Amino acid sequence: MAAWGETTEDDEVSEDEEATVVLMAMSESDLDDEPVDSQSQLKGKVRGLNKAKLEKLLFTLMDECDAINAENCMLKDVCSNLKKDVRKLEHEMKSLKVKDLKLMQRPLVCMKTLTSLKKP
């Protein structure tokens, strides 16, 4: 079996895989100060990377993605509950406004009644 980064006749790298390798190397080369002029230079940099390290980074990324997705789901649930609470409060506010209007009308009715009783 060929070592990572090497190919044999049976294990040819397709153009799509090469493009993926180049993209991986580009992100790695962004950290370097040296400019990379050709695809062969990028391939050379990728060959120097440790497969175990890349695998570890990939699994770390996947774990972080899972954690973010779980947190996102939790936040969606919290938002949904908050929206329900807001709707309940809005309904209660409308109900209180109606009660307040009824209470404000009482003194007016009493004043009219008092005024009509005072008239001779």
Tell whether the model's pLDDT for residue 1 goes beyond 70: no
Whether residue 3 is contained in a domain is answered as yes
94 or 15, higher pLDDT: 94
Query: pLDDT higher for 54 or 24?
Result: 54
Q: Is residue 12 part of a domain?
A: yes
Residue 110, domain member (yes or no) = no
pLDDT above 70 as % of the chain: 67
pLDDT category at 22 given cuts 50, 70, 90 is: low
Number of structural domains found in the chain: 1
Q: 37 lies in which domain range? A: 1-49
Mean pLDDT of the chain: 78
Q: What does the alpha-carbon distance between residue 48 and residue 65 come to, in Å, rounded to a whole number?
A: 27
**Rounded distance, CA 19 to CA 16, Å?**
5
Residue 20 forms part of a structural domain? yes
Rounded CA separation 53/61 (Å): 12
Residue 66 is assigned to a structural domain of this protein: no
Average pLDDT over residues 22-46: 64
C-alpha–C-alpha distance, residues 80 and 115, integer Å: 53
Range 97-108 average pLDDT: 88
Q: Is residue 44 part of a domain?
A: yes
Residue 104 in domain: no
Question: Is the pLDDT assigned to residue 14 strictly greater than 70?
Answer: no
